[in-house]
Structure 1
Amino acid sequence: MNQVAIEGHIRYFQSLLPTTVARRVLFADGRRGTRSVQFLDGDRTRYRAPRLPRIDGATTRPGFDTLWRKFVHARPADPLLLYFAGHGSPDPGHDLDNNVFDLWGGGGLSVRDLAARMKELPDGTPVVLVMAQCFSGSFANLLFEGGRPDGELVERDVVGFFAATRDRPASGCTPEIDEADYTDFSSFFFAALSGVDRLGKRVDGADYDRNQLVGMNEAFAYALLHQATGDVPVATSDVFLRRFVNKPDHETMATPYSRVLSWSTPAERAALEGLSDALGLRGEHRLRDAYDREFGPGAGSWDVEDVASAHRLRFIRLAKSVVLARTLRLSGHRARIERFERLRAAEARNPLVEARAANQARRAVTRRRAAR
């Protein structure tokens, strides 16, 4: 089940990082000679050895623990970006708030497993997560102590972008070898964030606020709008709002569309308008219309491969987040509002640009020292 697309996702992401950025890559059993990559040769499934520029260990519990102990702990002040591009499964105990990232050879790394590792870091260490696996949305619970959805908010800045809600699979694990056909969430997300897609082509149009910087929030909106699959992605701010703002769906979906747009950020507005057009929604009651079509009487059976249904769910979830954010800001709960705005500001960063800037600063210091 280790499809060639997973290897391609890792190769693409590595190509986006400045060469001097410290990194570690865990892949399959950690060995270059093992035929661990599944691919299609005509109509036959075959296996070959990995062709990644680097592999530092196995995607096993010992491999992950070693990475954390010897690499992450050694850089306690460094921002940490964790990218997961494999498979995911629902929690074996049927707790969808504690789903797992599948590990090589069996077993998994659960939300609470990762929460325990992150707790070992200083509170000031920011963490960004990008997770492309099925059922990955439950990892947004890393916002909370112990990874539990009813826990207190963690102090650190944790932001995450996930390919699927906690109860849905995700696309992107294919043995097809033509990367032009890859339509997974992280490919769109990183293409928008970096400005270069996995085929090396320039990507424009994601700087929705026109400030000359594409933030992760804008890359997320770009993926919501452009990814033509059954994925329903999730951001940490979505989970924050649903935890702390209690507003029934029937009230939320009764909000006139023009008000939702007026409360939206430029990125949210672009995604809402694009999804609305794709779905053929019109008028002030389009939130309710989309909701009734998806959940009301006569709604079709649940089909994770139905792209139109996925687009409706993206539209409904995004509109709901906009309304809940507005409700929170009017609530007068100062501490909660400040924490939400801090989360939104962290989601608007671009870690790739920051890494390049840090790399340039280090080179400038080296040049100055040499000139002395």
Structure 2
Amino acid sequence: MNNLLENELNTPLPALPPLPAIPANKQLLETKNNVLGNHLNVLVLGGGYSPSGNQVSLESNVKYFRNIRNDIGLGNARIHTYFADGKEKGRDLQFFDPKFEIPQINLVFAEIFGKTKGIANQYRSNQLAPDGSSSTKSVDSWFTLQKQNKQKQQNIIYFTGHGGKGDNKTQHNTTAYLWNNVRLKVSEFVKKLDQLPIQQSTILIMVQCYSGGFANVLFQDGDPKKEVSKHLRAGFFSTIQTRVAAGCTPDIREQNYQEYSTSFWEALSGKSRLGKIIVKPDFNNDGKTSLLEAHSYVSINSNTIDVPIKTSDVLLRKYLPNEFKQKKIVKKPSSVIEKYLPKLFNNENSSPKQVKKIELSTISTPELLKLANPEEKAVFLSLSKKLGLQENLPDKELKKLTEKLKKEREDIQKKKKEALDKKYKYRDSLRKKILAEFPEVSNPYHPTTVLLLSTNKKEKVLEIVNQDQIWQKLIKEKKNVESFESQRFTIEKKEVKIMRLKKCMENIILAHKLIQQSSLEQITKYNQILELERTCMEQKK
């Protein structure tokens, strides 16, 4: 870490971002932390699409949110919860208890003839006593209720569930899954949001895979090619619209839970889901923690594969779509006339001094810090330190680091493949031996197969698999595969931190250029979104 970054990390952040000198008619309005009043409605929507996709961590997310609602200023809010199959008695929830033991013969058959994934999972009914199921009907009923209120109010929608990709031609139109595999697309969700009175603003917190597509609720019909909606909306999302998100697990051990909303609510409440007290982020030193500061806290501290994104990020790229596209190479002058004639008519003394062009590839650390607002500055400094950046040109250094990690990942992938090939060789060998003795097991429902699983005849199968230590060799290679995958995953999480930092740098540059190049209307709209993102919910008295 160079001295500049070290000094910046130890220096209190300013209350407001430093702004460059700009024309008065394009002045970016100062955003203020907006403290919510009592007119607050919260929709908690989540769970899986079916029992096999409804992991216990999703239920735990809702429980955690309920536990800290007073701490984050939602004690007086009206909250509706729609989760999985609702109050039905069916076993809609999947969980994994490490104490649950699987018979050896079942593990052998699963490894050799079937699949081991989910073999230790169990099911029960959810314990949330929600207001209803996660269904289109429930969602529509909530929106109908909000439509009846013509007063100014704030809506918060928290979705903790699964998501799906958009189509190739409409990648922005991603999906949130409701119960019974019902798909709620961005375009359909926007139609529901459009029904709300114009005086109601809405904030989204969504943690599903491809959740970043829902940042497009900013636009008419949820389409980034169209104009910005007249309705005021903002949101925070676990990852960009083309990536899966972290977090869904049937594991009952909460210490293993790492996902976006865990860190987001932790930042706002000052308390982890395990009860540990943490220092709440206050990057602008105003004594409060805004939603934007909580989002920045996630970007800094979340050790996952997520690339968090917010609505203002998307709006900046809407207004300045070509900023980071590859520039066309300018043709060099091919003759003396072409080279020198323009200079004959260029009076350098009379022309104004050119402003230095800001480019991602050439901007220095001091320049970025000068332009950054408090939240982006905190993200930039913290991620730079985590990644061990030491040079003055961060983009150049990030490219070097990316190449280094790519090579490491490729080497690990080769080793993983070698271990996987060995595992498959041992598996196929055992499969042949068992089928030679018990050809009936090719059908998992054959009576002989059932007898082998449930009677003393299983001993013969176990005797076969233990010959020449083949089973033990298979398990050894399986552990090697898992070890290499863990190493690859560690590298991916470093690569993701690079992606987060690069996005942060882009945000800083885009916000600066928005002020210089865009219309007053665009600047004002961006500022409105930023102000909503900087909402501070009432602190517990």
SS at match of 1:105: helix
Q: CA deviation at 1:19?
A: 4.1
Aligned equivalent of 1:180, options 247, 250, 255: 255
Match of 1:208, SS state, is coil
Decide whether the 8 Å contact of 1:169 with 1:304 is kept in 2. Answer: no
Deviation at 1:92, TM superposition (A): 5.2
Deviations 1:219-251 (A, max 9, x none): 111000100011111010110111111312563
CA gap of 1:295–1:348, structure 2 versus 1, over 3 A, is farther
User: C-alpha displacement at 1:203, in angstroms?
Assistant: 2.2
**Cα pair 1:159 1:346 within 8 Å, conserved:** yes
Count of equivalent residues: 353
Residue aligned with 1:130, SS = strand
The 5 A counterparts of 1:211-250 are: 211-245=286-320, 246-248=322-324
- One-letter amino acid of the structure 2 residue matched with residue 262 of structure 1: K
2:370 alignment partner, one of 235, 257, 262: 262
AA of the residue aligned to 1:75: N
1:60 Cα deviation after fit: 1.6
* Match of residue 252, structure 1, among 360, 369, 372: 360
Matched residues in 2 for 1:346 and 1:253: separation? Answer: 31
Deviates more, 1:305-314 or 1:91-100: 91-100
Matched, 1:68 2:254: no
Mapped to 2, the partners of 1:346 and 1:65 lie a distance apart of 25
Q: Distance in 1 between matches of 2:402 and 2:223?
A: 29
User: Is the 8 Å Cα contact of residues 257 and 287 (structure 1) preserved in structure 2?
Assistant: no
Runs of 5+ in structure 1 lacking a partner? 361-372
Give runs of aligned pairs for residues 1-372 of structure 1, distance below 5 A. 1-17=53-69, 18-42=74-98, 44-52=120-128, 54-69=129-144, 71-76=145-150, 77-91=152-166, 95-245=170-320, 246-248=322-324, 251-291=359-399, 293-294=401-402, 306-331=492-517, 333-351=519-537, 353=538
1-side partners of 2:68 and 2:406: how far apart?
46
Task: Write out per-residue CA displacement over residues 286-321 of structure 1, whole angstroms, 9 at most, x where no aligned residue.
Answer: 123214544899776798871001100000001101
Instruction: Give secondary structure in 2 for the equivalent of 1:12.
Output: helix
2: CA distance, partners of 1:319 / 1:249: 15
Give the number of the structure whose alpha-carbon radius of gyration is greater: 2
User: For 2:402 and 2:191, how far apart are their aligned partners in 1?
Assistant: 37
Q: In the superposition, relative to structure 1, how do residues 95 and 255 fare at CA in structure 2: closer, same or farther (>3 Å)? A: same
In the alignment, what sits opposite 1:367?
A: none
Cα distance, 1:33 vs. partner? 2.1
Residue 275 of structure 1: how far off its partner (Å): 0.8
Q: Do the aligned partners of residues 273 and 19 (structure 1) sit closer, same or farther apart at CA in structure 2, a change above 3 Å counting? A: closer
Calculate the aligned-residue CA RMSD, in Å: 2.3
SS at match of 2:80: coil
Aligned to 2:482: none
Q: Retained in 2: the 8 A contact 1:81–1:127?
A: yes
Bigger relative contact order, structure 1 or 2 (CA pairs below 8 A, ≥6 apart): 2
- Matches of 1:253 and 1:297, distance apart in 2: 20
336-345 or 315-324, larger mean C-alpha shift: 336-345
DSSP-derived class of the 1:342 partner:
helix
1:245-283 deviation digits (Å, cap 9, x = unpaired) = 131256323211211111112221121111111112122
| C-alpha separation in 2, matches of 1:90 and 1:61 | 19
2:203 counterpart SS class: strand
Residues 304 and 342 of structure 1, relative CA distance in 2, 3 Å threshold: farther
**TM-score of the aligned structures, taking structure 2 as reference length:** 0.62
